[in-house]
Structure 1
Amino acid sequence: IGFILDRGYFSKANIQFMDSCDYDFVMMVKGRASFVHGLIMEHMGEFESKRACSIKAYRTYGMTVKAKLYADDDTDRYFHIYYKAKKQASERARLEADLDRMEAEMDKIKGREYKLPKRYEHYFKLTYHKDKFYGYEEREDVIERELQLCGYFAIVTSEKMTASEALNLYKSRDISEKLFGSDKTFLGNRSFRVASSQAAEAKIFIQFIALIIRARIYTLLRKRKVEMPGKPNYLSVPSALKELEKIELIRQPNGNYKLDHAVTATQKVILGAFGLDEEWIKAQARQIGKDIQNAAMPEEQKDDDEDAENEEY
């Protein structure tokens, strides 16, 4: 058993409890988190441009180092440090906009009785006189450090793995959350339309199994998409299923069934994501054709055919 912990959902007590139960964990932390920013600053510049550290699926660079999670930690943890240029740009813009907004707010309340939140004290030295707010001064060292840390984040794991493996494992949590979030959309879970609690439980159970199957399809298609040059738009779940639904059997005048048309190049790519190929489709088509013929055959003829097969055997 292992746990994927999102930001803000962990503590020293929780980590110690998981260690005592021999549970593995994967934990996301922000680059500006107090216990990890020193580690990032120490290794800053060592991996951000190295192609060997590139995680192409997420356009991110990462490296792994061993360190203690807290001062009296008995075990070395694996800290996976990441840098993403796109994330840096968005975080830096957001931080500077927040600073501008805070300054504008403080300019409005100068000379008034007002107690600013602690977040303001993190970035500014605030001046009060008899409960009245009189001015502020930037904490330049704090702001400059946080600007440097924009675009960085870290994942801590109890088990040894690469930075790429840790990021893929953490992203699987995100996929699961999005999957359940979109349950209403593609499984009709917005309204149950059932007459009893027993029917509702049965419907939820079937939908849960369907989610597992859909998640597996999504994972395999996504893996295939990463391996291919460009970004083919037919490797999404709806598009792939729609494309595969075009593989049909048609009935011939003699009563036999065969594929309506040959498997297309696009269908071959999709089938390849599941470890299947054109020959597998043809074999399945032949078997289904035989099953349909047998189902339509009179019982007397079925018995005669079975006797003939037994005699030949």
Structure 2
Amino acid sequence: MKTVRNLLADIDFLGYDKIKLVMDRGFYSEANINDLYYNHLKFLIAAKKSLMFVKAGLDNVRDSIRTWTNYHQKHDLYACTAKIEWDYSRERPYKADILKGKRRMYMHIYFNSERALEDEKNFNALLCRLQEELENGTTFPEHDRLYTKYFDVTTTPVRGTKVTAKKDALAEARKNYGFFVLLSNEVKEAIAALEIYRNKDLVEKAFGNLKERLNFNRTAVSSDQSLDGKLFVEFIALIFLSYLKKKMQDGNFFKKYTMH
């Protein structure tokens, strides 16, 4: 949350009084969400499917989401929304207690068939790599949790190392192929949330492209003023790009045109 606070402080001079944050899964933590509620900030954030309350939400719609009424042709996916309650808590050192309560939250759940195939392909590749590492004895400490989660390993003097997949764990992972989840305390509609989140992806990719075009991997400037100028040009370019994409979405121009 410190990173978010620093960002808000940096852009405070712009005079915006209603900041809305769009964040990826890396920013998710119970403490961060509580801080966002405490500071009355509106947010949209991607959530990990391993979270217990997200698992429960997925289980509730897993068999019903893939119906025509939930299908959105424009994005070629199924989507639905559940209104849930966040278990808010805040330590109050001056009272030596913890303030607890419920806060409104919207869980947007999506299923995409192409993503399901891609998830399956990536997961199979991961399992093959983990199995090979275990059988060859070339394991990596950062993979220990995955080894334990998906495989049983036995070693004998005669047969050597035998690696057996845990079927229940594989089946649990398979259930979530093609699903992804967004959480918000403001955006009520699943497709609206999706389009806002994808605009973030657009800006991130554009930032990467601009770094290449403006040689931003190396700032190559001789003064702070020159660096400020480069940053300002990039900032304005991203604003125009985001605005253009929104206008194209609003006017359904993507049926005939692209951003390129």
Does TM, normalized by the shorter one, top 0.5?
yes
Partner of 1:123 in structure 2? 150
**CA pair 33-57 structure 1, distance change in 2 beyond 3 A:** farther
State the Cα distance separating 1:162 from its structure 2 match. Answer: 0.6
Cα-to-partner distance string for 1:6-34 (whole Å, 9 max, x where unaligned): 11322111111111111111110243444
**CA pair 121-163 structure 1, distance change in 2 beyond 3 A:** same
Cα-to-partner distance string for 1:252-310 (whole Å, 9 max, x where unaligned): xxxxxxxxxxxxxxxxxxxxxxxxxxxxxxxxxxxxxxxxxxxxxxxxxxxxxxxxxxx
Instruction: Please give the TM-score of this superposition, normalised by the length of structure 2.
Output: 0.73
Of 45, 51, 72, the match for 2:63: 45
CA contact (8 A) 2:203 2:241 kept: no
Instruction: Please give the TM-score of this superposition, normalised by the length of structure 1.
Output: 0.62
**CA pair 194-167 structure 1, distance change in 2 beyond 3 A:** same
State the Cα distance separating 1:47 from its structure 2 match. Answer: 1.9
- The whole-number CA distance in structure 2 between the counterparts of 1:190 and 1:143 is 40
Q: Establish whether residue 64 from structure 1 lines up as the match of residue 62 from structure 2.
A: no
Of 21, 33, 41, the match for 1:3: 21
SS of residue paired to 1:58: coil
- The whole-number CA distance in structure 1 between the counterparts of 2:259 and 2:139 is 57
- The whole-number CA distance in structure 1 between the counterparts of 2:179 and 2:27 is 20
Counterpart code for 1:2: K
- The whole-number CA distance in structure 2 between the counterparts of 1:154 and 1:114 is 30
Query: Gapped runs of 5+ residues in structure 1?
Result: 238-313
State the Cα distance separating 1:70 from its structure 2 match. Answer: 5.0
CA contact (8 A) 2:86 2:104 kept: yes
Cα-to-partner distance string for 1:208-234 (whole Å, 9 max, x where unaligned): 32432233224323544x4564x44xx
State the Cα distance separating 1:81 from its structure 2 match. Answer: 0.6
**CA pair 70-139 structure 1, distance change in 2 beyond 3 A:** farther
How many percent of aligned residue pairs carry the same amino acid? 23
- Residues 195-214 of structure 1: pairs in structure 2 closer than 5 A: 196-214=223-241
CA contact (8 A) 2:116 2:179 kept: yes
- The whole-number CA distance in structure 2 between the counterparts of 1:202 and 1:101 is 46
SS of residue paired to 1:75: strand
SS of residue paired to 1:155: strand
Q: Establish whether residue 138 from structure 1 lines up as the match of residue 165 from structure 2.
A: yes
Partner of 1:236 in structure 2? 259
**CA pair 10-228 structure 1, distance change in 2 beyond 3 A:** closer
Of 174, 178, 183, the match for 1:147: 174
CA contact (8 A) 1:31 1:150 kept: no
- The whole-number CA distance in structure 1 between the counterparts of 2:25 and 2:183 is 11
Of 98, 103, 123, the match for 2:131: 103
Q: Establish whether residue 84 from structure 1 lines up as the match of residue 112 from structure 2.
A: yes
State the Cα distance separating 1:136 from its structure 2 match. Answer: 3.9
**CA pair 49-32 structure 1, distance change in 2 beyond 3 A:** farther
**CA pair 168-113 structure 1, distance change in 2 beyond 3 A:** closer
Partner of 1:267 in structure 2? none
**CA pair 207-75 structure 1, distance change in 2 beyond 3 A:** closer
SS of residue paired to 2:238: helix
- The whole-number CA distance in structure 2 between the counterparts of 1:113 and 1:174 is 34
Counterpart code for 1:217: L
CA contact (8 A) 1:40 1:81 kept: yes
**CA pair 135-197 structure 1, distance change in 2 beyond 3 A:** same
State the Cα distance separating 1:207 from its structure 2 match. Answer: 4.2
CA contact (8 A) 1:63 1:82 kept: yes
**CA pair 73-174 structure 1, distance change in 2 beyond 3 A:** farther
- The whole-number CA distance in structure 2 between the counterparts of 1:139 and 1:113 is 18
- The whole-number CA distance in structure 1 between the counterparts of 2:40 and 2:221 is 43
Partner of 1:36 in structure 2? 54
**RCO comparison, higher one (Cα < 8 Å, 6+):** 2
**CA pair 47-227 structure 1, distance change in 2 beyond 3 A:** farther
**CA pair 99-193 structure 1, distance change in 2 beyond 3 A:** closer
Of 177, 184, 187, the match for 1:157: 184
Quick check: 7-16 or 207-216, which moved more?
Answer: 207-216
State the Cα distance separating 1:48 from its structure 2 match. Answer: 1.6
Partner of 2:121 in structure 1? 93
SS of residue paired to 1:57: coil
- Pair member with larger Rg: 1
